[in-house]
């Protein structure tokens, strides 16, 4: 089972867009791999609808989507055909047919004693490093907006060397501000106090400082 910080395993998979090699086919891009328990199920259908409605937002952040379940390709194809016909939305991203469960097992997507995948999410960066892993049980659907938020937060953190608070950019304590990593030396504490006096940052204490994010 992989963990955050490891490289995404190299695999070849069958998808609704033909054979793909992961992570190579997304080289230089972020991608989100998400699994669903089964095709033609109500909660999964609401999720796929939500992912597709936000697909452009993911692409604006330089990220691609790819789904997965242990169903076969023909089942995926028929299901997305049904979604287009009944719900008016065409699923444009590929879906992996992991019918033997090889990749799902390698990624730890199949709960103990189960034969279907959990609702797992893997956010992978352009260097093919797994940056976030989220799991939900079969009976609880995901919040796709939270996945978008996590992706953007990771990108902001990488670019600016900051941390992002609970529910950013709508945090109860700091609003849309970002968190400055705690000072690690006495000199850094003094520099932080000076920056606070200049109005460059705000602090509850020297270890809890935040600032406006410029340029994003």
Catalytic hit among 22, 33, 44, 118: 44
128: how many CB neighbours lie within 10 A of its CB? 19
CB atoms within 10 A of CB 188: 13
Q: How far does Cα 166 stand from its chain's mean position? A: 16
Residue 132: closest CA among 142, 124, 144: 124
Q: Decide if 203 is catalytic.
A: no
Instruction: Decide: 124 and 131 in contact? Cβ < 8 Å.
Output: yes
Dihedral, CA of residue 10, residue 40, residue 32 and residue 180, to nearest 10 = -140
Residues acting as catalytic residues = 44
């Amino acid at each position: 089972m992989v963990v955050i910080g490891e490289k995404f395993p190299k695999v070849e998979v069958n998808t609704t867009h033909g054979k793909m090699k992961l992570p190579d086919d997304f080289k230089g891009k972020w991608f989100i791999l998400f699994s669903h328990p089964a095709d033609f199920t109500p909660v999964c259908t609401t999720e796929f609808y939500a992912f597709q409605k936000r697909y452009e937002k993911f692409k604006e952040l330089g990220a691609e989507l790819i789904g997965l379940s242990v169903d076969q390709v023909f089942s995926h194809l028929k299901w997305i055909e049904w979604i287009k016909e009944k719900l008016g939305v065409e699923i444009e991203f590929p879906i992996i047919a992991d019918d033997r469960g090889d990749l799902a097992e390698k990624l730890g997507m199949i709960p103990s004693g189960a034969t279907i995948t959990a609702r797992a999410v893997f956010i992978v960066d352009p260097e093919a490093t797994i940056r976030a892993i989220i799991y939900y049980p079969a009976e609880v659907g995901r919040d796709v907006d939270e996945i978008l938020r996590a992706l953007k937060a990771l990108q902001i953190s990488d670019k600016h060397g900051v941390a992002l608070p609970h529910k950013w950019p709508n945090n109860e304590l700091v609003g849309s501000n970002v968190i400055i990593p705690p000072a690690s030396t006495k000199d850094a504490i003094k520099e932080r106090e000076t920056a606070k006096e200049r109005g460059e940052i705000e602090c509850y204490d020297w270890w809890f400082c935040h600032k406006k994010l410029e340029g994003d």
